[in-house]
Structure 1
Amino acid sequence: MTYREWPVDRPGIACVWSRSLASAATHRIVPDGCADVIWERETGRLFVAGPDTAAQLGTSEPGTMVGLRFEPGAIALGVPADELRDGRIDLDAFRRDGRELAERLGAAEHPHEVLLDAFPAHVDPMIDQVRDLAERTGSVRAIADAVGLGERQLRRRSLAAFGYGPKVLHRVLRFDRAVRRARAGQPFADVAYREGYTDQAHLAREVKALAGTTLTALTGRTPPTS
């Protein structure tokens, strides 16, 4: 497998990426709070991968995928993010020009540029503030007070923007940071401490709940002890 990412200097866009497979392969996609628009070169399929609440398991056929990844809360497709949650939905199910865009991608020398032009992100300062707060706390009351919303209003706005309520958003963002730290080689006990888990066992339970596997299997390395 060949996978590459390119950062993009546009608000709300995390990156563009491509993945090529020479043969069929199984894969595990774990929650990171992001949503992607993905085009399959060989089939011409253009679809949206919504924000996930648990690992997505599947088998990919040989070929190339090209994707545009939105930062959490920035996807702008005209439908609430919770309608896309845990989904893999063809774009033409809710966007009239879905088939036309797929044809343009097939003819494009640089399909990433087509995706960037066709899918600008939605940047809302209040939603950005909610995300920043959820990086640090899962307290609905604390976040609601900080942004000046009632708790029910906050939940509605969060579901529409992120696909999650504030508590789940906090869990997913913390899990994503923990996995990144572990993959970078930090000892698992240090990861648990730095990300505010009670202990390494608490981190292990969260990884099992959100990724459906162990941190060792997810990172491909044995846990250091110091």
Structure 2
Amino acid sequence: MIDGAGGRVGGVYREWGAAGVPGAVLWGSVSGGGETRVLPDGCLDLLWSSRSGLLVAGPDRTAHLSRSAPGDQWIGLRLPPGTGPAVFGVPAEELRDRRVPLADLWGRAAAEVTERVEAALAAPGDEAAGVLTWVARDRLRAAGGPDPVGAHVAARLAAGATVAATAAEVGLGARALHRRSLTLFGYGPKTLARILRMRRALDLARAGAPLAEVAARSGYADQAHLTREVRELAGVPPSRLLAPATA
């Protein structure tokens, strides 16, 4: 999730579906310069940056502040919670709160992906984004698909289920679910639940619900609890996140 509260001025950002990678989202941006606040979402991203090349963005526990110069370009494939480890071949906890060059994970194989992306950038349309999708799709097939526990746990926690109830549904004890979650999401289920609850609350607020109602519907004790949680995870209060972005 990306938010303009960090100080981004201008720029263009868009998202669209990634065919063949269930639940994944492609996105592209051209920066207007400044700082962008990227909120935690339990996801891992495969990124191409005009400045840094191919990167892997690990799951963040708190907001990541991305600084760009005017005209910097980004293309990304955001993988749904629990899918990234099957694509990148490492546990999510090894990438937590990090931005890692793809070559550090895949070695020489990353050079082929870089060549394909750079060649596609010269073509019209979204060919470069298609390369990222193709890479993820092939890696998922080779891995036999993502761990199905990841999608189930993320879906139940996103819907507001408790960690205990979710563990029971997937047939795991509390410690086993915690270990599995570190591998799949980069952090334990309680942290993932907090992050997904914040996302659910912000979606409701952006749809026009008052914050007091948002807090009640999202499972917070009250509006003050909502504000504290958002501030801890996003670094700013809800009012700052919900303010219109600077044009």
TM norm structure 2: 0.83
Partner of 2:167: 144
1:105 lines up with 2:117 in the alignment:
yes
Change (3 A) 1:37 1:181: same
Q: Distance in 2 between matches of 1:216 and 1:207?
A: 10
- Helix, strand or coil for the counterpart of 1:67? strand
Deviation at 1:134, TM superposition (A): 1.8
Extract structure 1 runs of 4+ deviating beyond 4 A. Answer: none
Partner of 2:136: 119
| Unaligned stretches of 5+ residues in structure 2 | 1-10
| Unaligned stretches of 5+ residues in structure 1 | 222-226
1:61-95 Cα distance to aligned partner (Å, 9 max, x none) = 23211000101111121000111111111110011
Alignment of 1:73-222 (within 5 A): 73-75=82-84, 76-96=87-107, 97-108=109-120, 109=123, 110-120=127-137, 121=140, 122-135=145-158, 136-139=160-163, 141-220=164-243
Q: 1:36 aligns with which of 45, 56, 70?
A: 45
% of aligned pairs identical? 43
The RMSD of aligned alpha carbons is 1.6
1:129-171 Cα distance to aligned partner (Å, 9 max, x none) = 21122222343x3322221112221111111111121111100
Contact 2:55 / 2:99 at 8 angstroms: preserved in 1?
yes
Q: 1:63 aligns with which of 58, 72, 84?
A: 72
Contact 2:39 / 2:234 at 8 angstroms: preserved in 1?
yes
Amino acid at match of 2:116: R
TM norm structure 1: 0.90
Partner of 2:54: 46
Amino acid at match of 1:49: A
Q: Distance in 1 between matches of 2:216 and 2:242?
A: 18
Amino acid at match of 2:161: T
Deviation at 1:13, TM superposition (A): 3.5
Deviation at 1:212, TM superposition (A): 0.5
Contact 1:12 / 1:74 at 8 angstroms: preserved in 2?
no
Write 1 or 2 for the structure with the bigger share of helix: 2
Compare 128-137 and 31-40 and name the one that shifted more: 128-137
Q: Distance in 1 between matches of 2:76 and 2:66?
A: 17
Matched residues, number: 218
Amino acid at match of 2:15: E
Amino acid at match of 2:53: R
Q: Distance in 1 between matches of 2:102 and 2:15?
A: 22
